[in-house]
Amino acid sequence: MAGEHVLVIGGGGTGAAIIHDLTQRGYHATLVERGELTAGTTGRHHGQLHSGARYAVGDREIARECMDEVRILQRIAPQSLEMNYGLFVATNAEEAAFGDTFIEACNEATIPARDIPVGEAREMEPLLAAGITRAVQVPDGTLDAWRLPLHFFATAKASGAVIKNFTEVVGLHSSGGRVTGARVVEHARQREYDIDADFVINATGAWAGRVCAMVGIDLPVTPAPGSMVAVNKRLNNMVVSRLRPADDGDIIVPQRKQSIIGSTQWKTDDPDSILARHEDIHFLTERAAEMIPAFAEAPFHAAWSAVRPLAGRADGGDGRGLSRDFNCLDHEADDGVAGFMSVVGGKATVLRAMAEKTVDRLGRILGDDIPCGTAETELLPHRAYFNPALS
C-alpha cells in the first residue's frame, strides 16, 4: 500500500538514491543531513565511475553489478558522467601476466575488456609512462560526486520528498522496542524538534555506528579513510589504472581540468575531520608518476581524504580485506529494534542499486509489494534541485 512516512538519515549518495526510490514507490519521505548534502564521504570521491573491472578478479558479483549500474546511469543521469573509458596498464612483467586473469574475470562479469596494442594505447594517452608493456581497455568513466546525487535529490524533491540539510539527528525516539522518529537540531534556526516516522533508515555511512548507538545497537562498520591528491592539469582523458589486484595509489581519474590519484586506506574510530596524511601525498604522487610521469611535475591542486564506510569489522591491517559490498541491516531481525534499518558499505557507482535493495527490503518488512522503477526513470538535471523550472 505504501503511504507510510519514512525518515532517511544521511544526505550522501546512498540517502539521495534511497529518498528518490521511496518517493517513486509512493512513500512519504523526509531526509535529514547534519551539514550540506554530500559533505561526509560522497562528495570527496575521486569520481571514478566503476565499470567493475577493478573488482572483477576478487568479486565477480560486485563487478557485474557495477557494469549494470554504469549502463543504467548512462541512461538516467548522463549529464554527470564523463564516459571516456579506462585503461589498465602494466608497468612490469608481473602486471602484464596478470592481464590474462583480469580480462577473463572482466568478461565473466559482462565487462567488455580487451587488449589494446601498447602503441595504440599511447596514441590514446600520450603521457603514459615509457615502460608500459600491456594495456587493457574497459568502460570506466568519471562521475561528478556532487552533481550525480543532486539528480536524485532533485527528482525526489519534485515528487514531494522533504530534504533538510544542516539538520542533525541528536537522538532517536523509541517505544515498545520500535523506533518512532528522531530528535533533530536545525542549525540555522538553532531549533530542536521531533520528526515522527513509521520507519527510519540510517544511511549515514561511516557515521552509521554513532546513529545506531543512540538506540543501543553495536553496528559492525569500519570507517576507513583514504587520501587523494589532485593536480591542476588534465593529463589523461581515460581513467588510467594499474593492471594488478587493488592496491594503494593505483588509479588516476581525470576530472574537468584536473587529474586525481587515489587512494590509500587506513582505519579510524573517528570519521570526523580526517585530513590527507602527509606521507600519503608524497607516496601517491610517486605512484601516479609510475603510470603518468607528468603527474609529478604538474602543479599541486589539493590533497584531501574521504572516509569509506566498510561493512564489517576489520580485525587488523588497513581493512582492505573487507568487502566493498554493502549490507542492508534490518535491526528488528538482528537486534530486536523494529522500524529501523541501516545501510552500510557500498560504492558510489552502485548507489541506485543499493537504494533498490534497501527499499525492496523495507517493502517486505512493511508488507508492501511495489516494484522499483528507478532503473527506467530518467532523473531531473542537477540544477533542478535549486530551480524546478530547469527540469
Partner 1 sequence: MPMTNNNDSVTFTVSRPQRQEDRMDSFEVPCDAYTTVLDGLEYIRTRLDATLMYRHSCHHGSCGTCGMVINGEKRLACTTNVRALESETVTIYPLPMFDHVGDLAVDPTGLFKDFPTGADYRRDSEFNRDARVPEEIETFERFENCIECGLCVSACPITIDWMGPAALSAYNRELQKHPERRDELLSRIDVDRGVWPCDRHLRCSAVCPTGVYPAKHIALLKRAAQKRRDGA
Q: Which stretch binds partner 1 (CB under 8 A): 203-211, 274-282, 339-347, 372-380?
A: 274-282
**Exposed (0-12), middle (13-18) or buried (19+): which is 160, by Cβ within 10 Å?**
exposed
- Cβ burial of 364 (10 Å; 0-12, 13-18, 19+) is exposed
Q: Are the CB atoms for 52 and 73 separated by under 8 Å?
A: no
Give, in order, the Cα–Cα distances in Å from 51 to each of 98, 111, 112, 114, 120.
18, 7, 9, 13, 21
Terminal CA-to-CA distance of the chain, rounded, Å?
29
- Residues in contact with partner 1, counted by CB under 8 A, come to a total of 67
Cell 596478470, residue?
A: 98
Give residues 286-345 in contact with partner 1 (rule: CB under 8 A). 301-304
Closest approach, Cβ 386 to partner 1, in A, equals 4
For 172, 302, 378, the CA distances from 207, given in Å and listed in that order, are 15, 24, 30
Residue closer to partner 1 (CB basis): 2 or 39: 39
CA-to-CA distance for 284 and 222, rounded, in angstroms? 23
Say how far apart CA 174 and CA 187 lie, in whole Å.
23
CA pair distance 299, 178, nearest whole angstrom: 54
Is there binding between residue 39 and partner 1 (CB under 8 A)? Answer: yes
Residue window 124-163: x/- pattern of binding to partner 1, with contact defined by CB under 8 A: xxxx---------x-x--x-xxxx----------------
By CB under 8 A, is residue 13 in contact with partner 1?
Answer: no
Q: What are phi and psi of 301, to 5 degrees?
A: -115, -50
| Residue 254 touches partner 1, criterion: CB under 8 A | yes
d(CA 317, CA 303): 23
Q: Which stretch binds partner 1 (CB under 8 A): 17-25, 53-61, 120-128, 195-203?
A: 120-128
Region binding partner 1 by CB under 8 A among candidate stretches 74-82, 101-109, 334-342, 354-362: 74-82
- Minimum distance from CB of 272 to partner 1 (Å)? 4
Q: Cβ 37 to partner 1, closest distance in Å?
A: 7
Q: How far is the CB of 346 from partner 1 (least distance, A)?
A: 18
Q: What is the footprint of partner 1 within residues 82-101 (CB under 8 A)?
A: 82-85
How remote is the C-alpha of 86 from its chain's centroid? 18
**Residues paired with residue 344 on neighbouring β-strands, in sequence order:** 327
Of the candidates 29, 200, 238, 354, which one interacts with partner 1 according to CB under 8 A? Answer: 238
Report in angstroms how near the CB of residue 157 gets to partner 1 at its nearest.
12
Q: Which residue has the cell 580485525?
A: 315
Binding-site member from 1, 175, 176, 188 for partner 1 (CB under 8 A): 188
- Binding part of the chain for partner 1, among 249-257, 307-315, 348-356, 369-377 by CB under 8 A, reads 249-257
Q: Which parts of this chain interact with partner 1 (CB under 8 A)?
A: 35-39, 42-44, 47, 78-80, 82-85, 120, 123-127, 137, 139, 142, 144-147, 166, 168, 187-190, 228, 230, 234-238, 254-258, 260, 272-278, 281, 301-304, 381-383, 386-387, 389-390
